[in-house]
Structure 1
Amino acid sequence: MKLLRAADRVAVPWKNGGGITREIAARPQEATGEGFGWRVSLAEVAADGPFSAFPGVDRVLTMVEGDGMDLALEGIGPRRVDTRFVPQHFPGDVPTGCRLLGGSVVNLNVMHRRGSSYGAEVEVVTGDVVIGAPQDGGTRLALPLDPGADFLRQAATPLERYDALAFTGTDPGGLLRTTGRTAVITLRHP
């Protein structure tokens, strides 16, 4: 298990300069720019405008703060994202415009290479959750979306909002104790 503290993340501009993102984890770990197989980040959208395009990539976007946004997906149509904690799936290479509904939003953004051995599933759960490495390999991340969480194994580890726990290999994990919501992200990789 690896603890990835939110306070340690660096804000970087989007590829198109339209917002900022804070990377939580990526695979391969040495990947830079668009060389990832999968990538998990928190993205801040402060103004209307286009999303960055990522050829050959699928996205799972989950709004975690804000009033929402209207997305215009070229060739697919409009999509309203106005309910927090509901994962939204769409292609990352489709030109996507965004209009905010009432101020800035923060999105949990999970991207993975389409048609490869990389993949991702996102689930938002409420309350305590037993969390550990996936049995079929890969990585599992647990990301508290509300304040007030503790990870219990041999001792309690207090977690801040948006801290992440990463489980790989045969790590049996433990109990994430919270009364709030947690994003559970299961990531496949070679």
Structure 2
Amino acid sequence: MRVLRAADYRVMPWKNGGGTTTEIAVSPAGAGLDDFDWRVSMARVETSGPFSSFAGIDRTLSVLEGEGIVLNVAGRPPERMTAASQPFSFPADQPTSAALIAGPITDLNVMTRRGRMLHQVERLPVSAPVEISTEACSTLILCHRGHAIFAGATPIRLEPLDTLLLGPDVPILRVEPAPDATLFVVRIIRAA
């Protein structure tokens, strides 16, 4: 179990050079944009335009801040996404572009290498204590809004945008939330 603090995340350029991304975690450790098995990051999107293409990657996007975007993924109807929308999954190697609804946004990106890893992303509003199953290969819990305290011998407190990274050795984790807390739970598993 590791606590990843927002102040320590690595900021790097987008693959297409159009902005910056804030890397929360990547596997294997130190992997670049072309050789990761999985990657979780946030990006500030300032203008409408094309997304970077990632060959052989599946991606899930969630809006964290801002009015939202309309995603156009080749072969699909446009997807309007706001901070209240469910996470949206799509192949990262299909032509994709985004149109901002009303100004910049910040998004959460989860990417896994097809054939090696799979992922699930859940937006979890928490107003009462809850238990989170963490039996995946890796589970990341991002505190989006409010704060959350994870019970245990030594309680762990996450502030906004801090992340808890767990392996399969902790099967269930109990969360004591602040009022109006929202978490993102990312489960990453090996492909069969």
Same fold (TM over 0.5): yes
| Residue aligning to 2:170 | 171
Root-mean-square deviation (CA, aligned residues, Å) is: 1.8
Alignment of structure 1 residues 68-147 onto 2, 5 Å:
68-114=68-114, 116-127=115-126, 128-131=129-132, 133-134=134-135, 137-147=136-146
User: CA–CA distance in 1 between the matches of 2:83 and 2:145?
Assistant: 15
TM-score, normalization: structure 2? 0.89
User: CA–CA distance in 2 between the matches of 1:79 and 1:106?
Assistant: 17
- Cα drift, residue 86 of structure 1: 1.3
Question: Does the 8 Å CA contact 2:151/2:176 hold for their aligned counterparts?
Answer: yes
Identify unmatched segments of 5+ residues in structure 2.
Answer: none
Question: Does the 8 Å CA contact 1:64/1:85 hold for their aligned counterparts?
Answer: no
- Cα drift, residue 83 of structure 1: 4.5
- Cα drift, residue 30 of structure 1: 3.3
| Count of aligned pairs | 187
Alignment of structure 1 residues 148-159 onto 2, 5 Å:
148-159=147-158
Question: Does the 8 Å CA contact 1:121/1:185 hold for their aligned counterparts?
Answer: yes
What letter corresponds to residue 82 of structure 1 in structure 2?
Answer: T
Aligned identity (percent) is 37
What letter corresponds to residue 98 of structure 1 in structure 2?
Answer: A
Greater shift, 98-107 or 23-32, is seen at 23-32
| Residue aligning to 1:183 | 184
| Residue aligning to 2:55 | 55
| Residue aligning to 1:11 | 11
Identify unmatched segments of 5+ residues in structure 1.
Answer: none
Question: Does the 8 Å CA contact 1:143/1:182 hold for their aligned counterparts?
Answer: yes
Question: Does the 8 Å CA contact 1:141/1:186 hold for their aligned counterparts?
Answer: yes
TM-score, normalization: structure 1? 0.90
User: CA–CA distance in 2 between the matches of 1:2 and 1:76?
Assistant: 38
Question: Does the 8 Å CA contact 2:65/2:83 hold for their aligned counterparts?
Answer: no
- Cα drift, residue 157 of structure 1: 2.3
| Helix, strand or coil at the partner of 1:7 | helix
User: CA–CA distance in 2 between the matches of 1:96 and 1:61?
Assistant: 12
| Helix, strand or coil at the partner of 1:145 | strand
